[in-house]
Amino acid sequence: MTPENLQQFIRVLDDEKQLHRVRAEVDPRLEITEIVDRVSKAGGPALLFENVRGSDYPVLINAFGSYRRMELALGDQSPAQIAARVEKQLHLRPPGDFKEKIRMLFSLKEMADILPKKTKRAPCQQNMATSGPLLDSLPVLTCWPEDGGPFITLPLVATKDPETGIQNLGMYRMHKYDNTSTGMHWQYNKDGARHFRKYRERKEKMPVAVALGGSPAVTYAATAPLPPEIDELMFAGFAASRPVSVVKAKTVDLLVPAESDFVLEGYVDPGESRIEGPFGDHTGFYSPADVYPVFRVTCITWRDNPVYPATVVGKPPMEDCYMAKATERIFLPMLQMLVPEIVDMELPMEGVFHNCALISIDKTYSGQAKKTINALWGLGQMASTKFIAVFDKDVDLRDSPTVVWKLLNNVDPRRDVLMSEGPLDALDHSAPYPDYGGKMGIDATRKTRQEGMGRDWPEEITMDAATMEKVTQRWKEYGF
């Protein structure tokens, strides 16, 4: 079964020998980050810091930082298994556009089994405070030397569209300013920012609730690239094969995961903003300070014996890379429904998931690779991908030497490179303008005459099957 809360997840990690407990006192300013960075880069375990200076609460970190731990977070399922379930649902009946394809996942008879279940009593509301130490009670990390301050790095931010009433659960870093306020880093294309703009037009304060901890499946769902109409809590129920329990927040009209360890309640005033950052980001560079809305905390609730969840981002690979790899696998069937020639996709960790996409296709006609590139640049989060390289279906995209070999040998720069411009990820520091810059598509497939190949494409060198089998059978005779 999928862990319902962090306490269960910690027990699972312990049983699987995927957890290391640190009992020595550690400083949440920089020291934890340096420990985590070394462990993460070495492929080490999740870490539970039990004695954090200045706080009564332990810190769980690197909990998602391996392929195996991602499987455990999702109920001992691989992302490929969840992707197979997604694909099965998508093929039950012919859907229309992209939104309908995804909406179809949640419009079948099993919807009742994945819809969030409301409860009146919840662990996350066993304790409550509206004054005294609020944010100051939490072991919020200062991760890197030039960070603007401490940051809450694994928050589940609940907001509501004031027109439709549809909730969203997103993950946006939160720069802690003081005991009762943080920055709210809503990038321009995020659902939280879309909701905020509507409240600003209405000149109304925006209610916000921030959950910390709880079910690891819910934490993952908050990072997933879902359309605005799809509830992340419902997607978490689908991924976990059981519904998420939710409860109405104490002081704002929002539903929050009942098994959360902490819930911060408050509001964002459209008339208030402040410098947020800098922040050592997942690109491996500091993202610059800029003006963002301010979140005012008016209430905090928490469960008995809570654990504070955190993550550290920086030069890859780090914990967030494994979460993004799960998204790559789980959402591939949806991408294939929209662009059916796609066979596989690889988002290299070094490309920090928005800078580079490697795609293989079943090429059946001239120009298909460039058609695929343009199609991907028109889709959701793929629209901000800076480099897209397309290969034939027989290329293993995870075989880096072969990928580089094909890229360097199959491409004529004048004929096969497609230059464009458009939206980019807000964290792309190489772009000439914020959120906007150049893009490159590369056709690394075999070329046809119609694509400008003025001579026959050569045959790739391969040994005949009979000789390969003969050598395999006699391998020991050769003394190897």
**Residues carrying an active site annotation:** 281
Q: Are 421 and 437 in contact (CB under 8 A)?
A: yes
Q: Are 425 and 354 in contact (CB under 8 A)?
A: yes
Please report the DSSP string for 409-467 in residue order.
HS--HHHHEEEEEEE--TT-TTSSBTTEEEEEEEE-SPP-GGGT--SPPPPPP---HHH
Q: Are 221 and 171 in contact (CB under 8 A)?
A: no
Please report the DSSP string for 340-389 in residue order.
TTEEEEE--GGGTTTSEEEEEE---STTHHHHHHHHHTTSGGGGG-SEEE
Q: For residues 79 and 324, what is the distance between their CA atoms, to the nearest angstrom? A: 11
Amino acid 11 reads: R
DSSP state of 160: E
Long-range CB contacts (within 8 A, 24+) of 14-19 = 16/68, 16/72, 17/45, 18/45, 18/46, 18/66, 18/68, 18/69, 18/72, 19/45, 19/46, 19/47, 19/48
Q: Are 49 and 26 in contact (CB under 8 A)?
A: yes
Q: For residues 472 and 463, what is the distance between their CA atoms, to the nearest angstrom? A: 13
User: What contacts 339, CB < 8 A, 6 or more positions away?
Assistant: 372, 375, 376, 379
Q: For residue 319, what are the β-bridge partners?
A: none
Q: Which token pair is 371?
A: 């058609």
